[in-house]
């Protein structure tokens, strides 16, 4: 669904911001490296200026204003600053969804924005499609100062592309690949889907994971996920060769909808733990 491998385009254009009002939520329009407008928002959270920031990458057919995404953002904002945005083709953002390919450029723009706001530690937390995107983003942006991340959390992420082993994933493939499905996505789900197939096929999540080290990685997955069974998180953890932490959550379903406040709080604690311990020394 792209004309070239995502992550190899010129650097993103994010306006530098050196000061932000700590009590107010800030809303803006970011622009990805390939020129797509992205609806984004920033909550400064409870911590000091320069403290950790969490960038939230929602799942397919979500957007930053959806109730389940807002709930996750509110839970994270109790412990850190939070950047939310809508992927291309979703909600108020421009462009069309490439279902996980060029979305790495959207994450890069959001991470760079967080750094421009003064945050020296930025952690990405991705759900479902967003989980696969944050894995690929971290692999493709190692060493790039403005877009690199300090840790990654993938929640309910697939391990491989083109998976059709469950009924929900077969429905999703119909939505993405058929003209009637894309019409349903556009009219019923506020998701505009690109009609072209991937060319080339992007790096798979399991191929991306070994490239993350030494970036800390947390993999979170429910044992009742109706989209991706537990062999997916186990494959991701195995690809990390012991360098990732795996949480298999009993009774949990899929992504943002299924993550309760207690789990979101534990994810935020993990995301901020190394920064907190470093500043306490």
pLDDT of 281? 41
Give per-residue burial for 30-66: e unless 16+ CB within 10 Å, then b: bbbbbebebbbbbbbbebeeebbbbbbbbbbbbbbbb
pLDDT of 278? 44
Mean pLDDT, the chain, rounded, equals 90
The pLDDT tens digits of the residues spanning 17-29 come to 434 444 568 999 9
In the numeric block, which tokens belong to residue 211?
């490239």
pLDDT of 274? 62
Q: Is the pTM of this model over 0.85?
A: yes
pLDDT of 216? 96
Angle between helices 179-188 and 167-177 (to 10 degrees): 100
Q: What is the DSSP letter of 269?
A: H
Positions of the chain with pLDDT under 70: 1-24, 144, 274-281
The pLDDT tens digits of the residues spanning 143-183 come to 767 899 999 999 999 999 999 999 999 999 999 999 999 99
In the numeric block, which tokens belong to residue 99?
């279902």
pLDDT of 3? 40
The CA distance from 180 to 162, in Å, is 19
pLDDT of 56? 98
pLDDT of 7? 44
Domains and CATH numbers, the chain: 26-272 (3.40.50.1820)
Complete edge-to-edge strand list for the sheet that includes strand 53-57: 26-31, 37-43, 81-85, 53-57, 122-127, 151-155, 217-222, 244-249
């Amino acid at each position: 669904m792209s004309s070239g491998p995502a992550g190899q385009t010129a650097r993103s254009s994010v306006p530098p911001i050196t000061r932000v009002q700590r009590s107010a939520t800030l809303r803006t329009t970011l622009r990805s490296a390939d020129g797509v407008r992205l609806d984004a928002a920033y909550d400064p959270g409870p911590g000091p200026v320069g403290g950790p920031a969490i960038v939230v990458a929602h799942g397919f057919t979500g957007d930053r204003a959806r109730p389940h995404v807002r709930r996750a953002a509110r839970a994270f904002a109790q412990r850190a600053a939070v950047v939310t945005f809508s992927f291309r083709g979703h909600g108020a953002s421009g462009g069309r969804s490439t279902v996980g390919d060029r979305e790495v450029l959207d994450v890069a723009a959001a991470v760079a924005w967080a750094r421009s706001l003064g945050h020296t530690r930025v952690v990405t937390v991705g759900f479902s499609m967003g989980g696969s995107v944050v894995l690929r983003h971290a692999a493709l942006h190692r060493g790039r100062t403005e877009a690199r991340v300090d840790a990654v959390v993938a929640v309910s992420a697939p391990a491989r592309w083109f998976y059709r082993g469950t009924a929900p994933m077969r429905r999703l493939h119909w939505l993405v690949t058929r003209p009637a499905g894309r019409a349903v996505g556009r009219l019923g789900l506020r998701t505009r889907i690109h009609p072209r197939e991937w060319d080339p096929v992007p790096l798979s999540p399991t191929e991306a994971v070994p490239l993350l080290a030494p970036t800390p990685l947390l993999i979170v997955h429910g044992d009742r996920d109706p989209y991706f069974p537990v062999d997916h998180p186990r494959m991701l953890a195995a690809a990390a060769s012991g360098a990732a932490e795996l949480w298999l959550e009993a009774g949990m379903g899929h992504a943002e909808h299924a993550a309760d406040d207690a789990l979101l709080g534990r994810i935020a604690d993990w995301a901020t733990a190394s920064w907190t311990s470093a500043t306490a020394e």
